[in-house]
Amino acid sequence: MTSPAPIPEPQEALKLEAAAVPALSIDGVSHSYGQRRALIDVSFNVQPASFTALLGLNGAGKSTLFSLITRLFGIQSGRVGIFGHDISKSPGEALRLLGVVFQPRTLDLDLSLTQNLLYHAALHGISRSEAAERSTELLGRIGLADRAGSKVRDLSGGQMRRLEIARALLHRPRLLLLDEPTVGLDVKARADIISQVRQLVTEQGIGVLWATHLFDEIMPSDDLVVLHQGKVLAQGPMNGVVTEAGAQDVNTAFMRLTGAQTMPGGGA
């Protein structure tokens, strides 16, 4: 009565196998600063080729979580894995698969675009000639090829962010973390960056964790993790989270979940 399941194509099989290992797995992670608990038993996964939005207000623990994933802080309890590599046990293997865009700007303003990229490549042990090739290619892709020799100081905020994303991709990571990357940018620059990152997901199969407090950056097809006061309140596909909260949209769902009164930056 049931037809046998079709044998998956090799490409399909690879995808299926890859799906079994999450790009990022956060497993029971807690973190305290002295008495203050910043994260309480946080668990969620980011799949390869998916866009996961980490939604939370300022102070929800997003930056602490990023510091743990990037190994700036040591893990106090729980486990963080990047494609199955434990960040505490094999940090080198984990970090080489990870690209990060931090919330504060981390470019050398007095160096040129290319120099910034070459420095980053060196930190990943990428040879000079290979690095130069990749830099040219990436600068072309973000539309800044003609600015390669300019000082970063002369770029606009949106251009700097694009450069930071290009830099994070230089060593060809499979997982990309972005910590509120659109803060302080105008509407056009925001839209550019969001579409650029979404392209990475669909075209290159990169897993993306995008921390934000802006609801309009989330699309119905995204995965959603709602972080509030250090706890995960809800997670799953956005539609599911909204429906489960008995709400019509993310904004209302978030309000119901957190009991928040006002929505700073929300609903834009």
The site for other proteins (CB under 8 A) is made up of 14, 17-18, 21, 33-34, 38, 48, 58-60, 62-64, 67, 70-76, 83-85, 88, 91-98, 100, 102-106, 108, 110-111, 115, 118-128, 172, 174, 179-180, 203-205
Given the complex with other proteins, which of 112 and 252 has the nearer CB atom? 112
Given the complex with other proteins, which of 179 and 192 has the nearer CB atom? 179
Given the complex with other proteins, which of 230 and 242 has the nearer CB atom? 230
Burial track 238-261 (b if 16+ CB lie within 10 A, e otherwise): beebbeebebeebbbbbbbbbeee
Given the complex with other proteins, which of 52 and 70 has the nearer CB atom? 70
**Directed axis angle between helix 113-123 and helix 128-141, to 10°?**
130
Query: From the CB of 73, what's the least distance to other proteins, in Å?
Result: 4
Given the complex with other proteins, which of 48 and 266 has the nearer CB atom? 48
CB atoms within 10 A of CB 21: 15
Query: From the CB of 71, what's the least distance to other proteins, in Å?
Result: 5
Single out the residue of 62, 89, 54 nearest to residue 75, CA to CA: 89
Query: From the CB of 133, what's the least distance to other proteins, in Å?
Result: 14
259 phi/psi in degrees, rounded to 5: 70, 20
Q: How far apart are CA 241 and CA 247, in angstroms?
A: 9
- The two structure tokens encoding residue 107: 């470019």
Query: From the CB of 42, what's the least distance to other proteins, in Å?
Result: 15
Given the complex with other proteins, which of 204 and 248 has the nearer CB atom? 204
- The two structure tokens encoding residue 27: 């497993």
- The two structure tokens encoding residue 75: 């893990």
Query: From the CB of 36, what's the least distance to other proteins, in Å?
Result: 8
Query: From the CB of 244, what's the least distance to other proteins, in Å?
Result: 26
CB atoms within 10 A of CB 130: 11
